[in-house]
Amino acid sequence: MTAGSAERIHAALIARISEGRLQPGAALAETALAEEFGVSRTPVREALQRLARDGLAERGPRRAFALKTPDPAEMAGLFEAVGEIEGAIAALAARRMTEIERAALAGLLEEEREADPAAYSALNLRVHAAIRAGARSPVLARTLEALELQTLPWRAMNFARDAGRQARSRSEHRAIAAAIRAGDPDAARLAMQAHVAGAFLAATRPLSE
């Protein structure tokens, strides 16, 4: 019992989407994928069902799976929801973080100030992870993760980043951290929502900024 083919294929497909190696709307035929991965259709079916559950694939007219095409309007709704949930997380963090956690968050921002562009992305993730941890809500954290996964094809299409965005992102982080440190949930929520909106706009208009 190898026990894990489906999971492996699921991860492989997500990686392909992330790298842009799967075009939006691409057909995901069970037979072809089974042959390609050297397994039978059964684990492929499970992987595709999981992908559909993740919101990354949908069933076509012939019940066949196809990669979801990122609809701009739907993506805007997705980012809005991400902003609301991450805002709620920030508000909870402002209420619940311990002094040590607040200090650790401040420390992360110090690191961030002198980080080169290559290291910035990883630090950005750590900042958000620290806030998630401080919110004490595994349910909201899981929900956020699921929604962010659905933004993956969009991010894969718009990977262009302008240099100015990074500076603004840092400044937004500081505003969030300041509100959290001050224990102001409403300000933390608003700052986080502005941050997510800024990231969305940067991803949406990579050329015009």
Partner DNA sequence: TGATGTCAACCTGTATACATATGCCGCGAA
Partner DNA sequence: TTCGCGGCATATGTATACAGGTTGACATCA
**Residues interacting with DNA, by CB under 7 A?**
1-6, 28-32, 38-43, 45-46, 59, 61-65
Q: Which of residues 94-133 bind a second copy (CB under 8 A)?
A: none
Contacted by 158, from DNA, a second copy, none: CB < 5 to 8 Å by type? none
80 sits near a second copy (criterion: CB under 8 A): yes
Q: Return the axis-axis angle of helices 41-53 and 30-37, rounded to nearest 10°.
A: 120
Going by C-beta distance under 8 Å and a sequence separation of 6 or more, which residues neighbour residue 95?
183, 185
Task: Rank residues 4 and 164 by Cβ distance to DNA and give the closer one.
Answer: 4
Q: Which is nearer to a second copy, 108 or 154 (CB)?
A: 154
Show Cβ contacts of residue 93 under 8 Å, excluding neighbours closer than 6 positions.
131, 132, 134, 135, 180, 188
Site for a second copy contains 36 (CB under 8 A): no
DSSP state for residue 69 in the 8-state scheme: P
Q: Using CA of residue 45, residue 11, residue 68, residue 141, what is the dihedral sign?
A: positive
Q: Residue 140 touches which of a second copy, DNA, none (CB < 5 to 8 A by kind)?
A: a second copy
Q: Does 143 bind a second copy (CB under 8 A)?
A: yes
Q: Does 45 bind a second copy (CB under 8 A)?
A: yes
Q: Using CA atoms, how far apart are residues 48 and 51, in angstroms rounded to an integer?
A: 5
